[in-house]
Amino acid sequence: MPPMDRSVGWRAALLQALSVAVVAVVLAVALPRSFFEDWGWLAGPVAWGGCALVAGAALRLPLGLVVAGAALSGLPMLIGVAVGVHWLGAPLALAVFGAWCGWLAARRPGMPAVA
């Protein structure tokens, strides 16, 4: 297994989960259900990527690579969407995103990897 900074990984996953939850609640309160039926395919990935940028910036990670990791980690959620259980893939996606960010942190110049 490649070296990663587990502390950054946990914090990235937690920040992502919290920020996605806040955005979901705000959007659910502000917008009608029909918005999500018509535009959820776009709103969900944009929210996921935006929240990843927040987590990446807070943890001082390279934002381009954080967005790439957000895109890859979002793929497991497609399984949940395909079977009609939207949030089924979210826990796995959060774990993948956290691992990705931990891996990025371990590769920062001058930063030792923490096992």
Q: Which domain does 91 fall in, by range? A: 6-106
Euclidean distance between CA atoms 113 and 93, whole angstroms = 23
Our count of domains for the chain comes to 1
pLDDT tens sequence across 22-53: 999 999 999 999 999 899 889 999 999 999 99
How high is the mean pLDDT of the chain? Answer: 90
Euclidean distance between CA atoms 14 and 29, whole angstroms = 23
% of the chain residues with pLDDT over 70 = 92
Residue 23: its H or E element: helix 6-30
Is 84 inside a domain boundary? yes
Residue 43 contacts residue 27 (beta carbons within 8 Å): yes
Closest CA to 9 of 70, 112, 90, 98: 98
Is 15 inside a domain boundary? yes
Is 60 inside a domain boundary? yes
